[in-house]
Chains A and B, each alone.
Chain A
Amino acid sequence: MYAQMVKSTGKGLVAREDMSFEDRAFQDRIDAGEKIEPKDYMPDGYRRNLIRQIGQHAHSEIVGQLPEGNWITRAPTLERKANLLAKVQDEAGHGLYLYCAAETLGVSRDEMTEMLLDGRMKYSSIFNYPTLTWADMGAVGWLVDGAAIMNQVPLQRTSYGPYARAMVRICKEESFHQRQGFHIMMAMVNGTADQKRMAQDALNRFWYPALMMFGPSDKDSVHSAQSMAWRIKMNTNDELRQKFVDETVPQAEYLGLTIPDDDLQWNEDTGHYDFTEPDWAEFFEVISGNGPCNVDRLNARQKAWDDGAWVREAMVAHAEKKAARKQAAE
């Protein structure tokens, strides 16, 4: 997901009898469904895991502006241009809410940005794939925002108050993005032969990367068990992936598009679709830096950060001068 492969810093699930008195009380609050707020006691591992998870999520929103930003200047009509601009702007807003949520845990936005740029913090693998035709603006909204929703809707109930509240605001907008993407796909499949070809090509390229967004199977992961006990992870990766496939297959059928999986079929016994797992070797290459766009994406963020340095410095300097002038006048 946007926070896939968040490695917990602890040694896995801590047994109740091994917990300190405070940690036991903390776990009881979580089990009772209470929200943890910034000033409340929290175990170090909880804080560190949350910073990583929220940070990775925030970075995904910001890096995620790039593949769609790639088509803003080429959007085919004034309406599409405005819609895409508004969508990418929403993602910037999501980044902002999430950085603010992470700041309540004691890490600044600038520190997190530095960690993104020097590789200490990651972002979702999906944004390392290129957007090659206008249909990709449809496929990204439909599949990528669609997959994000699967994970983010349950996170509205996550144990950390500021994170849960950020998710409530974000989820409203994500479902709008998903519909907007689906509408672009509808226009494409109802269009010319070229447009239909673009739509199918976009689905072919984005299907497996979208499935990878949920991360590899985590049923045996000890890290995952701890995150679930802390309610900062609400479902297993496999559960969410299955839910995504089950919801998306009928949508693809409605569009008249073919999901690029010959083994995809409805399973009467399980009540779910059987499907082919993505190529996990490719996934691990992408998250270790070898995706088609990793280098370009980080270079673009680095360049924006460097090019903006003089502006950020000047704004601070001006604010200081203004405050000094005001004080001198008093």
Chain B
Amino acid sequence: MQPLFEFLLRQGDNALVLGHRTSEWCGLAPALEEDIALTNTALDLIGQTQLWLGYAAEVEDTGRSANDLAYLRDAYDFRNLLMLEVPNEDFGRTLMRQFLFDAFQVPWLTALQTSADPRVAEIAAKSLKEATYHLDRSAETVVALGDGTADSNARMQAALDYLWPYSGELFADDETDSAMADGSIAPLPSSLRPAWATTVEDTAKAACLKLPESDFAHSGGRTGARHTEHLGHMLAVMQVLQRSYPGAVW
């Protein structure tokens, strides 16, 4: 697989999988304002998916479209982070995950704005505006819920503890990342760890939450080597019409 295609799938699949998970909240959030805000996030992410996967399809150049990539690949061809495919569980985990991801996306997309690939730079610039807004909101919510009540603090701590072992995958450089770095298309993800850690530490402190000590990290999402059991179920739902009625135009 071409490294650039692989890289673009990672960007697109992150947006698609998190966008889908976020869309599961529509109509069911704790308050109307949150419902509307979560749907905004989902809409932004689906929009970003169209850009990344659209470009991926062009780079692949085998006639597949962004929709084909989204709806007709099976789990082992997905390249999203494991953290993004685990179930929402509750509002606390949903917002904690969003925060941990946003805290990476903001410096990541900032760096991609100066990519040697102008299309990557262009998509990053557009996505960065959204990611910056998402980070403001998710960080603020994590602080509010961490600080709020004893119950909400316990829930947010549980969410952080659950997600923590998945966060290390953000920085697990591999050959694709080296190829992107060599071509000045993207920095090595590991180079963003200090910026991410600062944001996470500051926010956790304001939220009265303890960062787990362990630095163990699950892997297998961004390489596709081993996803969680959850992704297959998500795809079974998401892809049902495209799979059941091959070739139909909707």
Contact = CB atoms under 8 A, between A and B. Distances in A.
Contacts of A313: 148-149, 151-152
A77 B71 contact: yes
Contact of B26 (A69, A187, A315, A319): A69
B1 interface: no
Interface string A67-90: 001001111111111100110110
Contacts of B176: none
A139 interface: no
Given A65-B26, A69-B27, A315 B144 contact: yes
Interface in B44-76: 46-47, 49-50, 53, 66-67, 70-71
Interface string A303-316: 11001111111111
B149 A73 contact: no
The residue among A82, A304, A309 with the most chain B CB atoms within 10 A of its own CB is A82
A308 B29 contact: yes
Contacts of B241: 74-76, 134
Contact of A314 (B50, B90, B149): B149
Interface string A42-80: 000000000000000000001001100100111111111
A308 B141 CA distance: 14
Contact of A304 (B29, B47, B250): B29
B49 A192 contact: no
A88 B53 CA distance: 25
B30 A307 contact: yes
Contact of A192 (B47, B155, B245): B245
Interface stretch (B33-41, B179-187, B193-201, B221-229): B33-41
Interface in A194-214: 194-195
Interface of A: 62, 65-66, 69, 72-82, 85-86, 88-89, 92-93, 95-96, 99, 109, 134, 184, 187-188, 190-192, 194-195, 300, 303-304, 307-319, 321
Interface of B: 16, 20, 23-24, 26-36, 39-40, 42-43, 46-47, 49-50, 53, 66-67, 70-71, 90-92, 143-145, 147-149, 151-152, 155, 237-238, 240-242, 245, 247-250
